[in-house]
Amino acid sequence: MPKQPPLTERELEKIGEETDEQLVDLARRGDRHALSRLLARYRQRAVRAAYGMLHSVEDAEDVAQEAFIRVFRSLPAYRGRGKFFTWLYRIIINLCASRRRMASSREIATEEIELGEHPETAEEAAVRSVAVSAVLTRLPYRQRAALILREIEQLSYADIAEVMEIVEGTVKYHVSEARRNFRRMWLEETNHEM
């Protein structure tokens, strides 16, 4: 693929104007800038979601890149069934699942976690991040995925159902159980009620 020039300011402004469907349609017809616009729109969310699942910056970026490559390669076969972002998230969640053993085997230093009453400093925020990672790692995989898609990515139950290929009632159950378990594990990890 030939290297393309960076997007101009006007093109970057247009990222917010075009729908995913329009960009996907352009990308399918070989418009390289449409790929860049989709990347600009979803790269942060893709890395964030993968990070929530794997708790490793390096792995999260690898997974997000691999997901984009798979999606873009499959664009010619894309028939517009389902939303672009639910398709992307589905691939991310599946790729993370294949790496989850590696991720769960990683040691997370939770023994030394001490949260202040009002975690405001950068150090305390970092400690809080470690605590969040520790708790998320302990959650069952599907509950973790449902909670991240709901709380961090702000997806509706219908979209989460599409990503995880389950019915909405099951999403509701997973999110609810994930919250209950998160609350309990948070108390265990930090000795602080939420």
Partner 1 sequence: MKCKDARAAISARLDGEDIGFDREALEAHLAQCLECRAEADAVGRIGEILRSAAAPVPSASFDERVLDGLSRRSWFDRLCDWFEVPARRVAVALGLSALVISCMFLVPNSSVPPSHVGLDILRRQAAEAGVDLSDIYPTHPAPSQRSEGGTIKCV
Q: Which residues bind partner 1 (CB under 8 A)?
A: 1, 3-4, 32, 35-36, 39-40, 43-44, 47-48, 51-52, 57, 60-61, 64-66, 68-69, 72-73, 125-126, 128-129, 132-133, 147-148, 150-152, 156-157, 172-173, 175-176, 179-180, 182-183, 186, 193-194
Least Cβ distance, residue 117 to partner 1 (angstroms): 14
Q: Which residues contact 141 (CB under 8 A, 6 or more apart)?
A: 97, 100
User: Do 24 and 43 contact (CB within 8 A), yes or no?
Assistant: no
Least Cβ distance, residue 158 to partner 1 (angstroms): 9
**What is the sign, positive or negative, of the torsion defined by CA atoms of 57, 61, 66, 68?**
positive
**Residue placing its CB nearer to partner 1 in the complex, 106 or 180:** 180
**Residue placing its CB nearer to partner 1 in the complex, 136 or 165:** 136
**What is the sign, positive or negative, of the torsion defined by CA atoms of 171, 75, 41, 20?**
negative
Phi, psi of 31 (to 5 degrees): -80, 110
**What does DSSP assign to residue 76?**
G
Least Cβ distance, residue 93 to partner 1 (angstroms): 16
**Residue placing its CB nearer to partner 1 in the complex, 64 or 163:** 64
CA distance 33 to 134: 39
Least Cβ distance, residue 98 to partner 1 (angstroms): 17
